[in-house]
Structure 1
Amino acid sequence: MRRSSRLLINTPDIEIWPGGLLSARSNHDARALSRAQHVLRRKRDGLYLAADLPEGLLAMVPRLRHEPGIETALGALDHLTEHRRVGIDAIGELPLDFLHERLHALGLDDSYGERTNLPLVAEPAALALAGFDRYRRPLWLVSPAARAWRSMQAAAMHEGVVLEAISGYRSHDYQLGIFERKRARGLSVEEILTVNAAPGYSEHHSGRALDIGTLDEAPAEESFEGTPAFAWLRDNASGYGFVMSYPRDNPHGIVYEPWHWRFEGH
């Protein structure tokens, strides 16, 4: 199977990462990752499940075949070549089947969406590598958003303005983890909702939103508004298809986020 250097295939429980982008957590992982064409990674906790090696699939956990969602992920792995031929823009979105169960576990139902005027956001079934964020983590966006981000970042740099990605795509499981960690620190769900959208309602799930920062500026702070980077975005971002999602007094009740921008192009 050919190495796919820029494509992440997404399934409800497991992500299929291209080889060469994930860090080793042990000597055993290092040997597998150094040769892997793709890596199967559990979304819930980031555990590496299997490495797709030239000679075949190497299980990295016991009882791999009993992992939830493994058959779906292996089917997606088998069809990666077909995905590449069809094109990343044509692959579509994941179903929202399991999201309601996760929301109910937080004591949330459809009334949250009605109250905030936020829609449920499906995860894309495939994402493109859009470069790397401030922390040298791979930045994943849907293909047209990735192209637009790279173009916009390069244009700003040409004018002496540094735009840094802070974060891009986040899965429903990632957002749920934010809630679980904050609840473990004693915060209530209602308190968390004042600064974090409920799992399934964050624009980051779509692969079309990213948080933007700049050099020597703390991430995700209102002070970003006073930087040359923000001024450049205010004047130029729309030309690349990006809009600021949460201005002051937005109808969703979300705090002002001058760093959060959404791609609305095609």
Structure 2
Amino acid sequence: MHPADWRLINGESLEAIPAALARARGNATARALAQADWLIRRKRDGRFLAVRRGDVVAELQRGVLTPALRDDLFALAAADAAGESPRDLSGLLQRLHALDLDERDYGERSGLPLVAEPSSLAFAGRDRYARPLWLTAAAAHAWKKMRAAAGSDGIVLDAISGYRSHDYQLGIFRRKLARGQTVAEILAVNAAPGFSEHHSGRALDIGTPGEAPAEESFEKTPAFSWLQVHAGDFGFVMSYPRGNPHGIVYEPWHWYHAPS
């Protein structure tokens, strides 16, 4: 697969990424990935389940693809065909209700909208930690152009994180609930699953070398000064300035690509 075609295909419980981007876990997995086009993994924990080459799917462990997961596997083809179309939110709502979290009440109190995941995301390079960075095609293009423009001005921008799934945020909640925290306590510091701009594939946490990630001190860097002047030229806006109406702490590192 050519790097220009690299994308993340986003299903309900499974996702597929180019096998060339996966980090092998053991020699057998490395051999399987080397001969495959796609890696299929479970979203809630990142477990590698299968590889695909052409129309052939091979399990990485016998029996790992249950009948339910096989149904989800077939659904990945539909997700790929849908491109960046928003995914259905019904599965997320069921899981929010299982956590006793009322999305309507939370949305009214926070002023934040419920955010659907795209069915497909574009490869936007790698983040600070060498992980694949996934964004919508438009946001990926704008990020690459903005980063290059900053570089021409002697400013180095790096991505801390981009797209994050509903499952990622749900995992944070489940781990904190398991440690004895209440939903109210968790919501004081974490957005409810489904309400983060990162789910959209249009949000980026941006940093610069030598500066700790996601810290207010980022506002004192030349990188932040450059973004204040130039980010709008590439369609990026800072989502959470001081005193924002959502009650979210000031986040000078968090920028959103507003669709034109």
Instruction: State TM-score, norm by structure 2.
Output: 0.92
> Contact 2:51/2:60 (CA < 8 Å) preserved in 1?
yes
Matched position secondary structure for 2:68: coil
Residue matched to 1:58:
58
Let me know the Cα RMSD of the aligned residues: 2.0
AA aligned opposite 1:218: A
**CA shift for structure 1 position 248:** 0.8
- For the structure 1 residues 93 and 156, does the alpha-carbon distance in structure 2 shift closer, same or farther, using more than 3 Å as the test? same
AA aligned opposite 1:24: A
Residue matched to 1:232:
226
Residue matched to 1:140:
134
Residue matched to 2:105:
111
Q: Tell me whether 1:94 sits opposite 2:96 in the alignment.
A: no
> Contact 1:3/1:19 (CA < 8 Å) preserved in 2?
no
- For the structure 1 residues 9 and 55, does the alpha-carbon distance in structure 2 shift closer, same or farther, using more than 3 Å as the test? closer
**CA shift for structure 1 position 14:** 0.6
Matched position secondary structure for 2:240: coil
Mapping of 1:68-83 within 5 angstroms? 68-77=68-77, 83=81
- What is the CA–CA distance in structure 2 between the aligned matches of 1:265 and 1:20, rounded to whole Å? 30
**CA shift for structure 1 position 104:** 1.7
Mapping of 1:1-266 within 5 angstroms? 5-53=5-53, 56-66=56-66, 68-77=68-77, 83=81, 88=83, 91-109=84-102, 110-266=104-260
Q: Which moved more, 1:58-67 or 1:249-258?
A: 58-67
- What is the CA–CA distance in structure 2 between the aligned matches of 1:249 and 1:79, rounded to whole Å? 38
Q: Which moved more, 1:53-62 or 1:35-44?
A: 53-62
Identity value in percent: 56
- What is the CA–CA distance in structure 1 between the aligned matches of 2:157 and 2:100, rounded to whole Å? 38
- What is the CA–CA distance in structure 2 between the aligned matches of 1:238 and 1:78, rounded to whole Å? 35
- What is the CA–CA distance in structure 1 between the aligned matches of 2:209 and 2:146, rounded to whole Å? 16
> Contact 1:168/1:204 (CA < 8 Å) preserved in 2?
yes
Which 5+ residue runs of structure 2 have no aligned equivalent?
none
Which 5+ residue runs of structure 1 have no aligned equivalent?
none
Q: Deviations over 1:88-138 (max 9, x none)?
A: 4xx411100111121123221020111101111000000000010000000
**CA shift for structure 1 position 183:** 2.9
Q: Which moved more, 1:149-158 or 1:102-111?
A: 102-111
Matched position secondary structure for 1:229: helix
Matched position secondary structure for 1:248: coil
**CA shift for structure 1 position 55:** 7.9
Aligned length: 258
**CA shift for structure 1 position 78:** 8.1
Q: Which moved more, 1:91-100 or 1:120-129?
A: 91-100
Q: Which moved more, 1:46-55 or 1:240-249?
A: 46-55
Matched position secondary structure for 1:68: helix
- What is the CA–CA distance in structure 2 between the aligned matches of 1:244 and 1:201, rounded to whole Å? 17
